[in-house]
Structure 1
Amino acid sequence: MQRLASSRRLLQAALAAAAVAAPAPANGAFPKMPAFDYTPPPYNGPRAEIFRKRAQFLSPSLFHFYDRQLDIVEGKMQYLFDEDGRRYLDAFGGIATVCCGHCHPDVVEAIVNQAKRIQHSTVLYLNHAIADFAEALASKMPGDLKVVFFTNSGTEANELALMIARLYTGCNDIISLRNGYHGNAAGTMGATAQSNWKFKVVQMGVHHALNPDPFRGAFGSDGEKYARDVQEIIEFGTTGRVGGFISEAIQVFQYQSVG
C-alpha cells in the first residue's frame, strides 16, 4: 500500500506541475479534435458496478491513478470512447508499448481469419503463422538481427535479454541506469531503479549508474562525465567485465515534489 500511495503522490505532483506550466487557453476552451466519421453505439453495460467488481474479483495491485476515473468502452483507430460516448485521442498506447491504434480493419480482418482456422497451438508442433510472422518481422530489422523470439510482455522480453546476456558472456553483472524501469519480475526488478516498483526480495548483480539528465542531473548535459561514471562502476564494482548494459532509448524522469 505504501508503494501505491507513493505512485499516486508522484503522479498527482506531476499533474499539478503540468497544470501550472500549461494553463488553460484564455478563452477557457481547449482545442477541438478534428472531425471523425464514427459514432459509437450507446453503451448499456455496467457503470458504478465496475468499482465493486474490481474490488471483489481483481487483485488490489491493479490500482488506478486518477480520482475521476475514465471508463473506456470502445476504441476506433487513434481514438478511445468512454461510457458516455466522449472521444479521446489515445496518446498512451496501452502503456506506451502498443502504439497500433484500435480496431483497424486490416488488423481485425487478420485476427478473424486466423481465429477461423486455429486459435492456439504450441511451438512443439509446426504452424506456418508463427514462422511467416517471424520472417516478416525479421525483414524489417537491420543488419544481422534476423532471428525472432516472441514474448508476451516487455518485462518478459527484458528477463530474456538479461538471461541471454549473462549466459553468452559468462558474466552476471549488469549495468542499468537510475530512474529506469524494466519490469518488476524476479530478474528485471533488479534492473529497475524506482523504489515504488520494487518488492522486498533479493536483487543481485545489477549496478545503477547515474542517468543522464540535462535538467536536474548531477552532471547536467556533460555526457562524458556520465560515461565515466559507468566506467568507474565497471572498474570498482565488478570484476572488470559485465554481462550487459540496459537502458530505455528515451527515459521519462520522475521528480519528487518539493514543499
Structure 2
Amino acid sequence: MNRITAGLRFLKFSQKDYHAMAAPEMPPCDYQPKKYTGLHYDKIQEIREDHLVPCIVSYYKKPLLIHDGYMQWLFDHTGKRYLDMFGGVVTVSVGHCHPTVNKAAKEQMETLWHTTNIYMHPKVHEYAEKLTAKLPGDLKFAYFVNTDSEANDLALVMARLHTKHFDIISFRNAYHGMSTYTMGLTALSTWRINVPIAQGIHHAMNPDVYQGIWGGAQCRDSPAQTTRTCDCQPNKCQASDLYYDQLEAIFKYSLPRGQVAGLFAEAVQGLGGIVQFPKGYLKRAYELVRINGGVCIADEVQSGFGRTGEHFWGFEMHGVKPDIVTMARAIGNGFPMAAVVTTPEIAKTMGQVLDLNTFGGNALGSAVGLAVLKVIEDEQAQRNCLEVGTHLIKQLALLRDEFECIGDVRGKGLMVGIEMVADKDKKTPISAKQFMEIWEDCKDMGVLLGRGGLCGNVLRMQPPMCITKADADFTVDVIRRVLLKQRLKNKKTQDRHK
C-alpha cells in the first residue's frame, strides 16, 4: 500500500469508526496459568522502592507483575495474557518454561546441582562437545561463564594475551556489556557511566545504512530495505567501501602500525536498535584486522542460536569465521549462562594463566544448555525464525508505507526493529512522549515489545523462537491499530489549533 492510498483510507476513517474497533483478537492458548498467591502488588512496589537499587528500572507506567509463563506467553498476577515479543530481553529462546528444558533441569536438580569444575562431571563435557559441534572450523574450545558481560570481558583478555597487542576496535552504537572492561567496548552514551573504564579501545564509525552517511535500498541482508535510494549493485555495495575507508583510517592514524589486538562486532546490533551492516563490510573488516595482527571476535549474545533464520550463527550471514565467539541469553533459555568458544591456538594461550569461573559450566546449567540445543533441533526453531520472521518483517514494511511515523523496518529472522521518527525525510526520532504512548498502548492490547537505539525510538522484536504466523499477524494488527489511534489523536490536536 502506498502513502497516497493510505491517506485516502484515513480520510474515510472517522472517530466513530475508530471507537467501534475492538482490540484485535489474541491467538488462542490452551495453557491455564496458575493462580497467583504471592505478595500484594502494592507491597511488591513498596519493597522495590525501599530495597532494590533505583537503577533497576521497570518497563511501563504501571509495571507488570509477571507471574507465569508458557512458550511465547506471559501472564500477570491478574491472569491477563501477553504475547512476549521481546523474550525477556532476548533471553528466552525456545519458550518460557519449555517442557523439555524444564524436565532436563528438574532431573539434573535431583541428581547434582553444582561442584565447580575442579572436579569432572559428565554434563559439561557432553555440552561442550554438542555446542562446539555447532560452530564452523576449529572453533572447538569452550569456556563457560554466566553472563554476556563476563563472556565479552574474557574474550577481550584472550585477544590481548594471544596477540600480545593492546588496542581493540568496536563500533559506535554497539553494546557489549556493563563491566569495567566491556563498558569500554560499548559505544552508546546511555550505557556508559562516569567511572574509569578500559583503555585502548577505539570506536569505529558505525556502518548504518539507514541513519549513517552512506547506504540505501540495496545495502543490507534483510527482507526490508531502507527507502533511501543508492547506486549499489546486488554484489557490490558502495556504502560498504566508504565505511571501510573510515575503519581503515583508524589503523592509519590511531593504532601502532601493524598492531591491533582484536575487533568486536555483533552480526546485527541488538540494543543499538537492530542495526545491520552493509553487505560485504564485515568480511573486509575481518581481513584488515588479521593483516594487522589481530583476532576477530563475534558477539553472538543476541544473534546466535538460529535467531536470524538462515544461519545458526549471525556471523555466518556475513561470510566470515571469527577467532573467538561469545554467546549468552538464548544459550540457556533464561537460565544465567554464557560461553566463549575459540580455536586451539588461542585456547593454548589461555592455558598459560590460572583462571576459574566458579559457576560457569556447572551441572545444572550444562543440562539446561543441552536441552535447549535439543529443542532447537527437534522443533526446527531456526527454520521457524526464517519463515515467521520474514513474514513479520514484510508485513511491518507495509506499515512503514502506511504511517509517516515509521522511518525504517529492518532485521533478519526473529531479530526485528522498527525505527519511529517524527520526520521521515530528516529521520529525526519521534518524541519520547509519543513513543511511550505507542509502547504502552501495544502492551494494553496484549503485545510486549522492547526498546532500543541511542534515542530509545526503536521498537525491538526478539521473541521466543516458537511464535507462529498468527502471533506475527496479531502483533502487526496491534501496532497498526495503535498507530491509527495516534494518528486520530494528532488530527484532533491539529483541528483544535486551527
- Above 0.5 in TM-score? yes
1:167-186 map, 5 Å: 167-186=161-180
What does the per-residue CA deviation read over 1:125-181, in whole Å, with 9 as the maximum and x for residues that have no partner?
A: 111111111112122222211211111111111111111111111111111111111
TM-score (norm 2): 0.45
Q: Which amino acid aligns with 2:261?
A: G
1:175-214 map, 5 Å: 175-203=169-197, 204-214=199-209
Partner of 1:35: 28
Q: Which amino acid aligns with 1:156?
A: E
Partner of 1:148: 142
Tell me, yes or no, if the aligned pair for 1:73 and 1:82 is still in contact at 8 Å. Answer: yes
Tell me, yes or no, if the aligned pair for 1:165 and 1:244 is still in contact at 8 Å. Answer: yes
Tell me, yes or no, if the aligned pair for 1:72 and 1:80 is still in contact at 8 Å. Answer: yes
What does the per-residue CA deviation read over 1:35-92, in whole Å, with 9 as the maximum and x for residues that have no partner?
A: 1111112212221111111122222221124212111111111211111111112221
1:117-156 map, 5 Å: 117-156=111-150
Partner of 1:219: 214
Question: C-alpha separation between the residues in 2 aligned to 1:255 and 1:159?
Answer: 23
Question: C-alpha separation between the residues in 2 aligned to 1:73 and 1:122?
Answer: 32
Partner of 1:158: 152
Q: Which amino acid aligns with 1:213?
A: D
The reply on whether 1:236 has 2:236 as its aligned counterpart is no
Tell me, yes or no, if the aligned pair for 2:74 and 2:84 is still in contact at 8 Å. Answer: yes
Tell me, yes or no, if the aligned pair for 1:93 and 1:100 is still in contact at 8 Å. Answer: no
Partner of 1:14: none
Tell me, yes or no, if the aligned pair for 1:175 and 1:207 is still in contact at 8 Å. Answer: yes
From 233, 246, 250, give the equivalent of 2:268: 250
Root-mean-square deviation over aligned CA pairs:
1.9
Displacement of 1:216 after TM fit? Answer: 1.7
Q: Structure 2: 5+ residue runs without aligned partners?
A: 1-16, 217-238, 274-452, 458-498
Tell me, yes or no, if the aligned pair for 1:158 and 1:183 is still in contact at 8 Å. Answer: yes
Tell me, yes or no, if the aligned pair for 2:70 and 2:98 is still in contact at 8 Å. Answer: yes
Aligned length: 234
Partner of 1:9: none
- Of 184-193 and 98-107, the range deviating more from structure 2: 98-107
What does the per-residue CA deviation read over 1:68-123, in whole Å, with 9 as the maximum and x for residues that have no partner?
A: 21111111112111111111122212221332311111111111110111111110
**Compared with structure 1, are the counterparts of its residues 243 and 97 closer, same or farther at alpha carbon in structure 2 (3 Å cutoff)?**
farther
Tell me, yes or no, if the aligned pair for 2:34 and 2:68 is still in contact at 8 Å. Answer: no
Give the percent of matched residue pairs that are identical in Structure 1 and Structure 2: 41
Question: C-alpha separation between the residues in 1 aligned to 2:454 and 2:200?
Answer: 26
TM-score (norm 1): 0.84
Question: C-alpha separation between the residues in 2 aligned to 1:98 and 1:166?
Answer: 32
Tell me, yes or no, if the aligned pair for 1:174 and 1:244 is still in contact at 8 Å. Answer: yes
- 3-state DSSP of counterpart to 2:69: strand
Relative contact order higher in (CA < 8 Å, ≥ 6 apart): 2
- 3-state DSSP of counterpart to 2:266: coil
Q: Structure 1: 5+ residue runs without aligned partners?
A: 1-24
Question: C-alpha separation between the residues in 2 aligned to 1:216 and 1:133?
Answer: 41
- 3-state DSSP of counterpart to 2:265: coil
Partner of 2:333: none
**Compared with structure 1, are the counterparts of its residues 158 and 257 closer, same or farther at alpha carbon in structure 2 (3 Å cutoff)?**
closer
Q: Which amino acid aligns with 2:265?
A: S
Partner of 2:306: none
